[in-house]
Amino acid sequence: MPRKSPLVIGHRGAPGYRPEHSRSSYELAFAMGVDAVEPDVVATKDGVLVIRHENEISGTTDVARHPQFADRRTTKTIDGLPLTGWFTEDFTWDELATLRTCERLPKIRTSSASFDGTQPILRLIDLLDMVRAASVEHGREIGMVLEIKHATHFASIGLDLVPLIERDLRAGGWADGELPLVIEAFESTVLAQLRETGIAASFVYLIEANGKPFDLVSTLGRAAPDYSSTVTPAGLDRLRGEVDGISVNKRMLLQPGSTIVADAHARGLKVFTWTCRPENVYLSAPFRASGGKAAFGDYEAEWQVIADTGVDGVFVDHPDLGVAFFG
């Protein structure tokens, strides 16, 4: 990634202003000066990688308004939890291409919701081309932080994401290190598999504040380690040589006395954190202000605590605010 600390990464583009993962969301992030953007990838029935926050798409598309797809609504167990809705793996790409994106948080981001129904879903190959073109247009190197979603689930239904990701990165000219690429996932198994393909990228392990990674739960059951053990000195020791960095829930850095960043840096690991958002509903209690959930609180005070840890990258929903503060 470009030599700057911390990197400001447009989380799903600029979803504070446009529906997440839409074309306009990414274009706005480029224009606002991000160092990189972060797409999430899931797969279709016919092996096309599409950019959606989850494989369940009722909250981010207008699929429920398409009567021809009413019979696709179903309940599945995803990463051990039941979920009802419409799932990308039950559609072909041609079918998904008829849908339009919607704001996932319309009560919080009412302005963004005004763009509902106007833009199609992007494929990974579309965004790879967009980022490359934006680097030229804006005269600076823009990277990508590619997040893999639900790899164990997809593999269990015969949609191994590893060869699909390798295929698109190689076809798009992103596999040889010409452009800055980070690959991240909440499951270490898929990171190891992708590393073996020889793709030139940094590999980052996503860490939740609680719970256990589903890939290890599926193989080890109750013996699977929890995420919190991963950021202890002993846990970080085990990651050395396996990944290039970790990306942690910001709550873990806001805990008094947190030494996660220093401990990781001592072991040669980079640290990213997610997600820096200004709205009260997403801020830690001490930084909230009056005005309700959607109002901006004292986000700069919270972000200063995060910056003071020495973190290497921050994911933001409002890239202009992130660049102004962290830049």
pLDDT digits (tens, 9 = 90+) for 40-51: 999 999 999 999
Residue 302 identity: E
75-79: long-range contacts (C-beta < 8 A, 24 or more apart)?
78/150, 78/153, 79/150, 79/152, 79/153, 79/214
Residue 57 identity: I
Residue 215 identity: D
Whole-prediction pTM:
0.97
- What number of other Cβ atoms are within 10 A of residue 105's Cβ? 21
Q: What is the dihedral of CA 33, 201, 216, 306, to 10 degrees?
A: -30
Q: What is the DSSP letter of 212?
A: -
Instruction: Give dist(CA 316, CA 183) in Å, integer.
Output: 17
- What pLDDT does 327 receive? 86
Burial of 237 (0-12, 13-18, 19+ CB in 10 A): exposed
- What pLDDT does 1 receive? 40
Instruction: Give dist(CA 144, CA 295) in Å, integer.
Output: 30
Kindly report, residue by residue over 78-120, the tens digit of the pLDDT.
999 999 999 999 999 999 999 999 999 999 999 999 999 999 9
Q: What is the DSSP letter of 28?
A: H
Domain 7-55+122-326: give its CATH code.
3.20.20.190
Instruction: Give dist(CA 135, CA 284) in Å, integer.
Output: 35
Beta carbons within 8 Å of 119's beta carbon, 6+ residues apart: 19, 22, 23, 24, 100, 101
Instruction: Give dist(CA 121, CA 131) in Å, integer.
Output: 16
Domain ranges of the chain: 7-55+122-326
Sign (positive/negative) of CA torsion 46, 51, 56, 61? negative
Residue listed under structure tokens 């798409």: 57
Residues of the chain falling short of pLDDT 50: 1-3
- What pLDDT does 236 receive? 98
CA distance between the termini of the chain:
15
